[in-house]
Amino acid sequence: MSLIKRIFTPFEVVDRKVLSSIAFFQIAILVIAWQFGISEKSFFPKFSEVMMSLKELWQNGLFYHILSSLALCGKAIVIGIIISSLVAYSSTIPFFRPIVRFLSQLRNNPIQGFTLFLTTATGGGRNLQVSMMVIFMSFFFITALASIINDIPEEDINRRKAMKMNRWQILWEVAVKDRLDFLLEVIRQNISIMLMMLVSVEAMYKSFGGIGALITDSNRGLNFPKIFALQLVIFMVGISLDAFLKYAIHQFPVNIKRRN
């Protein structure tokens, strides 16, 4: 089968270099279309306009806004994962199982309506921003982590029982230590939710800066090249975080390939 035919045939395996070439070609087509395929009368900004805006943003301190957003996300993830892990691990204890199931279902609810109560409780400002992200993300973390714990094979637990471990030791060894890479995977899969929340959360207190604050301002002024530039920045931040976490997950022994 020729290479061209293989590229368009399902389940065909092609070389990584070929895949990279395909991706490069598709990105090039996209950029060309973006630059030359858009009408002058359209509101949709051209590629060159977006790049100019990006350069302006960078010159006006975009880097520090990115750092501010990353700091907010980082803090929220750490607190969120700690709280979610404790809740999810408690699902192994029968008494807490209904509570964990209830909390997991709360992921269907938006956070609007609770902002005033949270402002009162946290005192507003950065604390409010962190709290909102923690609360919102935790429901997703709890769901994912509880599912991982639920899927622990009985034979893993039986092995530890046969090794004379008590139930708390089994929880620590099997659910926590042996599945730390799953924890990182949960974070990786839910980063997109966190980035989506960034705009609404940072818009509450623009004095702290952040990409979300910048997008809110740009949106108000209908500065489309700037909005698209910031969207591109969020896209790149998301890809970078995803790649970083993928790399971290691959350092775990379970992902080391078997040596011959």
Partner 1 sequence: MDYSVEKELIKIENLNFQIKDKKILRDVGNDRFPFVIHDLVFKNNTNCLGQVVAIVGRSGAGKSSLFRLLTGLVKPTSGKVLIPHASIPDKYKEVAEGEVGFVQQNYPLSRNQSVISMLTQACKMGKISKTDSTDLVKKYLNDWGLFNQRNQYTNQLSGGQRQRVAIIEQLLCSHHFMVFDEPFSGLDVGNIMEVKASFRKIADQDNINTIVFSTHDIDLAVEIADLIYVVGFEKNAQGEIIEGGTIVDCIDLKKLGLAWKPYCPEHKELSNRICEKMLLAG
Give the interface with partner 1 as residue ranges (CB under 8 A): 153, 155-156, 158-159, 161-165, 173, 177-181, 252-259
Shortest distance (Å) from residue 162 CB to partner 1: 4
Nearer to partner 1, 78 or 254 (CB): 254
Nearer to partner 1, 68 or 92 (CB): 92
Contact indicator for 202, 208 with CB cutoff of 8 Å: yes
Shortest distance (Å) from residue 258 CB to partner 1: 5
Spatial separation of the C-alpha atoms in residues 169 and 192, rounded to whole Å: 34
Nearer to partner 1, 8 or 247 (CB): 247
Shortest distance (Å) from residue 160 CB to partner 1: 9
Spatial separation of the C-alpha atoms in residues 94 and 86, rounded to whole Å: 14
Amino acid type, 20: S
Contact indicator for 221, 163 with CB cutoff of 8 Å: no
Shortest distance (Å) from residue 96 CB to partner 1: 23
Spatial separation of the C-alpha atoms in residues 136 and 110, rounded to whole Å: 8
Distances from the Cα of 99 to the Cαs of 13, 93, 102, 106, in angstroms?
Answer: 46, 11, 5, 11
Nearer to partner 1, 15 or 155 (CB): 155
Amino acid type, 49: E
Shortest distance (Å) from residue 174 CB to partner 1: 9
Nearer to partner 1, 9 or 255 (CB): 255
Shortest distance (Å) from residue 259 CB to partner 1: 6
Nearer to partner 1, 13 or 162 (CB): 162
The DSSP code sequence of 52-108 is HHHHHHHHTTHHHHHHHHHHHHHHHHHHHHHHHHHHHHGGGSGGGHHHHHHHHHGGG
* C-alpha gyration radius of the chain: 23
